[in-house]
Amino acid sequence: MSMKQKEITENLYLQFWRNPIFFKGLLASVSADQWHTFTALAVFINDKGECHPSLSKLKQILGLGSIASVSRRITSLAKARFEGKPLIEISKKKQTNKKGVHVFANNSYLLNQAIVTIFAPHASNPVCREQQTSSWDEFKTKLIDSGVIREKRDDDKLTRRSF
């Protein structure tokens, strides 16, 4: 992963929609383990709503003792419904080795976009404004140092009127 991709990935935020939780009883319709697992999967979401974490990484994030526990939770989550739609959909990749034997491949999970999405920080976000200000200050310093902009312009007296 390039530095730019890493920076973009680290600057994405999860957005849980309020209506399913506040007005439509989502949290009352799922178990604590299902919500715990759903939010752990959401950390890996991309702009298409897909996640590709390994079971061992999920085990680590969830603080579980075995991969089997993670698999049970994901199976339970896939069975859970919200407004008739699954919370997650699982796409299982099937790979075979040279001998034609089925081998392990990472699953892909599609999260219900009516519940969670990602978004990039907006310029109104205080962190973004701070980064923009810092970038502008660096740019201005480079211009001043290069002589393109001077602290005091030579022609200031010519452009200002005296009243």
Kindly report the average pLDDT of the chain as a whole number: 79
Question: Minimal CA–CA distance to 109: which of 12, 11, 39, 10?
Answer: 39
pTM above 0.85, yes or no: no
- pLDDT-above-90 percentage for the chain: 42
- Residue 118 is predicted with a pLDDT of 80
Longest dimension (CA), the chain: 92
Pairing type for strands 85-86 and 81-82 reads: antiparallel
- CA pair distance 35, 26, nearest whole angstrom: 9
pLDDT tens per residue, range 110-124: 999 899 988 765 555
